[in-house]
Amino acid sequence: MIFQGGALLDSSTVEENVKLPLDLFTSQSEKEKMERVDFCLQRVRLEDANHLYPAELSGGMIKRVAIARAIVLNPRYLFCDEPNSGLDPQTSIVIDNLIHEITREYNITTIINTHDMNSVMRDRRENCIHSRRSQVVGGYQGRYPACRQPGTQRFRIRLGDGQKGQAGCKSRQPGS
């Protein structure tokens, strides 16, 4: 699982944070654990960050350490809670692309909980569900949901070019 704030242990190095699941859930040798940690850090492009502490990392680096820790056990499922929270737009794209690459590369089922509509609108998601107050209001594949619910019809998003759009659906104007 990738937590919104990374959930790294402040008093542990990057290496120790990534290795923690291996220490808790495997009986691998120390050498095997370190090989896996190094592989995962390399995969998220943090090969030289092993001995840094979370306070020494940028927001994007913290997210990448969290991703490395989440994949260190070769999971079948990856749960991401607001993986772009607190990141600038460019770093958000980097994190989105990294999650997408890892999902494809390792054939992982990934579930992303997000409010970042720019992330959702990137045509990388195969299946998405938009819910409001525990009620599913739209499902879609590669484009915004069909607008069947009033809440979804009024839902406005910011498109990638900075223009406002009407969530990919035709909205009824009063009197039309």
pLDDT attached to residue 115: 72
Buried b (16+ CB within 10 A) or exposed e, 66-79: bbbbbbbeeeeebe
The pLDDT value given to residue 118: 67
| DSSP SS3 for 151 | helix
pLDDT per residue over 55-97, tens digit each? 999 988 999 999 999 999 999 998 988 888 888 888 888 888 8
Q: Which helix (H) or strand (E) holds 165?
A: strand 164-165
pLDDT band per the 50, 70, 90 thresholds, residue 131: low
Confidence category of residue 52, pLDDT binned at 50, 70, 90: very high
What is the secondary structure of 63-130 as a DSSP string? HHHHHHHHHTT--SEEEEESTTTT--HHHHHHHHHHHHHHHHHTT-EEEEE---HHHHHSTT-S-EEE
Q: How confident is the model at residue 114, as a pLDDT?
A: 76
Q: Quick one: pLDDT at residue 2?
A: 80
Mean pLDDT within 104-127: 72
Choose among 98, 61, 58, 63: nearest CA to 84.
63
For 105-114, what is the mean pLDDT? 86
Residue 116 has pLDDT above 80, yes or no: no
pLDDT score recorded for residue 169:
38
Is residue 4 within 8 A of residue 85, CB to CB? The reply is yes
Average of per-residue pLDDT values in the chain: 76
pLDDT value, residue 165: 38
Q: Could you tell me if residue 86 is left (phi over 0), alpha (psi between -120 and 50 degrees) or otherwise beta? A: left
User: Which one, of 77, 47, 56, lies nearest residue 8 by Cα?
Assistant: 56
Write down the pLDDT at residue 109: 87
State the DSSP code for 133.
T
Give the C-alpha distances (Å, rounded to integers) separating 9 from 16, 50, 130, 132, 172. 9, 14, 32, 33, 50
What is the model's pTM?
A: 0.72
Query: In whole angstroms, what is the distance from residue 52 CA to residue 50 CA?
Result: 6
